[in-house]
Amino acid sequence: MIYSAEDQIATYGAGGRSRLMPKFHAKGVAYPPQRLTMVVIKSTNELMLYAAAADSSFEYICTYPILAASGVLGPKLKEGDCQVPEGLYNLTLEPNTPYHLALRLNYPNPTDWAHAKEDGREQPGSDILVHGNQCSIGCIAMGDPVSEELFVAAYDTVDKNLPLIITPVDFRTTAAPESKDTDPQWLPELYSQIKSALAELPQ
């Protein structure tokens, strides 16, 4: 059966909102928010949720534990490497997934394709999700209840531009991982871009 986002909201919306609203109200942010941003920190296996009302700056809402994320610190380079990407992405609703509910990354984005071309790579991979369940092959598994909250929050947010920052470490508090001889030449620039994006969010 093919589900629409509205089908899934009819099933999971009330429960998701009942869990989300106290978290938002505790931070003084009205629900639904005008804007939403998520940050995945690979080193600590955490997803941080930020939101903003209209004409307001982002506020930290909460942190969710990531239940499974395959690979190691460092970017995704090719199909089948089981790596979670690193970079600045956008999310869209994915109501049809074997992993309960999901948000789909726009991976590979134009930056990923440019890096692949620079390296002579033709298959950087695809189909990266933030989803339910507790298993991962290059995706970010949050468990079913949290996947419901993230899906509902993304659906309800007024501004449908939904950024996701995936970073190896929290550059606001932690230095970049030690470089390796095998690192791509473009990696320091990518980490600089991620660091700048993180600096716009409260700790």
Neighbours of 20 (CB within 10 A): 23
- pLDDT by position in tens, the chain (length 203): 999 999 999 999 999 999 999 999 999 999 999 999 999 999 999 999 999 998 889 999 999 999 999 999 999 999 999 999 999 999 999 999 999 999 999 999 999 999 999 999 999 999 999 999 998 888 999 999 999 999 999 999 999 999 999 999 999 999 999 999 999 999 999 999 999 999 999 98
Q: Give residue 92's pLDDT.
A: 99
pLDDT at position 203, please?
A: 84
**Cα 52 off chain centre by:** 17
Which helix (H) or strand (E) element contains residue 110? helix 110-119
Q: Given CATH 2.40.50.100, say whether it is the number of domain 5-169+186-196.
A: no
Identify the pLDDT of residue 54.
85
Is-contact 60 51, C-beta < 8 A?
Answer: no
pLDDT of 14 reads 99
156: helix, coil or strand? helix
For the whole model, what pTM was predicted? 0.97
pLDDT at 137 (0 to 100): 86
Residue type, 196: S
Spatial neighbors of 91 by CB under 8 A, at least 6 apart, are: 38, 103, 104, 105, 106, 130, 154, 162, 163, 164
Rounded to 5 degrees, φ, ψ at 199 are -65, -20
DSSP H or E segment with residue 63: strand 59-65
